Each structure stands twice: as C-alpha cells, then as structure tokens.
Chains A and B, each alone.
Chain A
C-alpha cells in the first residue's frame, strides 16, 4: 500500500517549551492508526498537526506527496470528543452541510434538484451509521452515542482522505462503546478509510487499530520537564484477524446494530 501521509523530523515548540520532538512517521493508505500515550505527551498536538489546525515549527508534513498547508481542509475529516455537531441544525442538515458549502459558495444553501440529491445522500449516510430514524432530530435531543454517530456521518459525507478521531468515544459508556467500535470498523472497511484515532483507552487502541503508536518523551529533565518533547516510542503493527477475535469476545450488548 502507498503512503498517504508522511511526517519528517517534525517539531512543535511554543517558545522554549517543546511539545513534539523530531517525529518522523509514514502512514499507509487504508490503515487504522491508534495513538496512545500519557496525558500531556502531545497526542492532541499530533492530531492538530495532521488536521492543519497548527503547523510544525520545524520539519515537513506531506499529504499525498504535497506539503500540508497549516489550515484545515475538506481532505481531512475530524470527529472530536465533544462539540462535533452543529447544535442549530437537524441531523440531516448537519450532514448536508458539507455539500452545501461545496455547491453554493455565497449562500451555502442548495435549492431544487441539488438540494434533493444532497438530502438523499445525507439520509443514506445517516442510515449507514444507524440514525435512519432520527433525520429531523437536533443534536441536543440525541444521546452521546447518537451524536458521535452523527459526527462521523457528517465527516464521511465529504469522503476525506484521512479521518481523524480525537477520543471520539471518551464520553460514552462501555456498552455503547462496543457498538461504536463495530460501527467504526464497518465504516473503515466499507469506505476504505484511512483513520488516525487518538485514545486514552489502550484496549480500544489495540482492538480497533492495525497499528498502534505510543507517543511519549524519550528523555526527561526533572529540573526542566518542558525542555524535551514527545515522539513515537512504540510503533506496533497489528495482525487484524487476531484483534477481531478478542473484540467479539468482549461485546456487551446483544443487538447487532443498536440505536443507542
């Protein structure tokens, strides 16, 4: 498989505070990369780098061979732990948002056949994540799990090159997490996605990922802990088939696709 994203000697520094230190990494197309590490080890900074929310202070990041601009774009989708959906739009309008931005630069609203097409595609996507019965619900009327399903559908409608998940299941309870694991894996396979997921849950990282990265500081100066940054200390490729077995053994809910 080809490399979709490559980081070369990337540093993130704020003044004399080093967050990420000399990180080099290649991410293959179609892989599911889990990122774990202790708090404050730059997991979120790493994600912000790929997202383009901030640029590296040194080093190069390339997406499909072209340098990544330090700005978010539609080629990288994202799901955050919270605030991933627009509270003022229904589920359907949330998912249509991507097409509306594309199709109408000035009004950001579609009309006529374009609107009908966007609506159908959005409804299909919502059905795929198990929200077919909640097209007209507002996010505030949904449970945490449903909101994350919505956020995933919203991101996938743009067919991003990479899907970034920032602790997407951190606020959900264990039963719903298992359902969400299944959903994410199914979407990853069906849509041939490349996923980078930051998580606190090591079991989740190994369950879902085809590759687990651990970010941590290699060196530590007790007098000046901020002088050394984090980098990849473990890089474990996983055999997906084995992970699949353990995953099924720990399922908690009975429903095949439950509408949590």
Chain B
C-alpha cells in the first residue's frame, strides 16, 4: 500500500504521536544521568528530581521578599499582558480589517499605511515604545499590539475583500446599505477567520511578550527565565519553557473549540 493512502486510526495516532516525545524525554534523561555520573553538581542538564524540588519552591512557597508565590505571579502577569495585547489586537483587526476590506475608498486611503507599519520589525520599535511609554506594563502590551495587529488587520482585510462579489451584490439587491452589508454579511463571515488569525498570531505574541519581559520587567515568565539564566538554573528554565508551551497549546485548543462551537457553518466538513 502506498504511504499516501495509509490512514492512521485514533488509538494508533495517540501511540505514534507520543513516540517522538517519549524518545526525546528518554534521550534527555540518558544524557543527564551520564553527565551527573561524571559530575554530580552538573547544572546544564538537571535531573527531574532537581527540577521538582526547585519548582515546588517557586510554586508552593511564598517568596520571602514579596510574599507572593513566584510561579503563579509570573504566570498571571504574563497571561495578563498577553491577554490585553491579544484583545486589543483582535478588536483592531476586526474594526480596521473589516472597514479596509469592504470599503474601497478607506482601503485606498489607509491600505498603504497599514502595509507600511506591518513591514517594520516590531523589535526595532521597542526602544521607541520604552522611551515614549516608559518601562511599565503599557510598553509591553504595546509591543505585542504593534507586533501582531498589523498582520491580523491585513489578514482580515484580505479575507473580507476576497468574499465572493456575488454575496455583496445579493445583499444590495435585498436592500442592504453599506453599513448593513458590513455588519450582516462581512462581519459574521470574518469571525472564523479572525479566530484563525488569533491562533496564527499567538506564536509571535509570545515572542514579543518574552522579549519585552526579558528587557525590562520585575515579574513574568520571560523575566524569570532570563533572571535565573545568570545562575545557569536550567532546573527552573526547562519547566518554565514547558509551562509556556502548555499554556500556548491550551489557548490554541480553546480557540479551535470556540470556532467550532460558535461558527459551525464555517467548518463544513464537520457536518
């Protein structure tokens, strides 16, 4: 049988999917044990026991200085920045993208500006944001927004612009005004695409969040990783990275679920 025709069943898929992950973990453990045999104080590849002990201190013991549970405070701060940044970007993408996509005069006026902003590397704007907005929360959220909003706006605008012309015409023959075409035809059909755009923007959003936290912050997942790097604390860095991956997967899963529940019509193959 050709490989292109080999369908994999559900239980087999779970088995096959976990195989490389398992292999990676085993390889890590093998290398870590090997290094610890040579040098019991090795910090580069910590053993699971070391990770558990240092992480449980961060998760369950309040910090002596601030009285906070450091791991949860970091998670909360990062998720809050990410959430506000994603939220603002989503609203901007919806409002601006919709108008750019459906109204040709607006597209002609503001299209080049959006394109121009979108091609600037956001990290290059970070110094400007820090100078203009200070080192507080605003600059970090602003970096996320500057980083992902233009791409999302262009995506939504292109999607709305590519809606079949027939639908726009049909709506007008049913008496719809520009505004009604926008909110009843373009907006609902842009929603599944918007969720898709958020999913795609999630990766870059994390990059900008960690960057901003690494440079100027006093709490946050990225801040912690870059802080303990000074002490070669791989026993904290590795669990933190795994936790970030887990959070990202959870958010992605939630977005897919929302899209399938809320916009079943857009997932035609599910019927």
Q: A residues bordering B, Cβ < 8 Å?
A: 51, 53, 71-74, 76-78, 80, 82-89, 97-98, 100-102, 105-108, 138, 140-141, 151, 154-155, 157-158, 160
Contacts and interface: CB of A to CB of B under 8 A. Distances in A.
A155 B173 CA distance: 8
Given A97-B174, A151-B170, A158-B173, 9 more contacts: A72-B172, A80-B166, A86-B170, A86-B171, A97-B176, A97-B184, A105-B179, A107-B183, A140-B271
A93 to B, nearest CB: 10
Interface in B236-268: 263-266, 268
B176 to A, nearest CB: 5
Contact of B174 (A80, A82, A158): A158
A251 to B, nearest CB: 30
Contacts of A80: 166, 169-170
B175 A158 contact: yes
B186 to A, nearest CB: 10
A107 B207 CA distance: 39
B197 to A, nearest CB: 17
Interface in B183-199: 183-185, 188-189
A73 B171 contact: no
Contact of B185 (A72, A86, A138): A86
Nearest to B192: A88
Contact of A108 (B166, B167, B184, B265): B184
A196 B41 CA distance: 87
Interface in B158-216: 164, 166-167, 169-177, 179-180, 183-185, 188-189
B98 to A, nearest CB: 14
B266 A101 contact: no
A88 B188 contact: yes
Interface of B: 164, 166-167, 169-177, 179-180, 183-185, 188-189, 263-266, 268, 271
A104 B17 CA distance: 52
A168 to B, nearest CB: 12
A71 B172 contact: yes
Contacts of B179: 105-106, 108
Most B C-beta atoms less than 10 A away, residue of A72, A80, A82, A160: A72
A76 B169 CA distance: 11
A74 B185 contact: no
A89 B177 CA distance: 18
A105 B180 contact: yes
Contacts of A151: 170
Contacts of A84: 166, 170
6 contacts: A77-B173, A97-B184, A100-B184, A108-B179, A158-B174, A158-B175
B215 to A, nearest CB: 43
A74 B271 contact: no
B170 A98 contact: no
A53 B40 CA distance: 79
Nearest to A157: B174
A87 B169 contact: no
Contacts of A160: 173
Contact of A83 (B167, B172, B180, B271): B167
Given A80-B166, A140-B271, A154 B189 contact: no
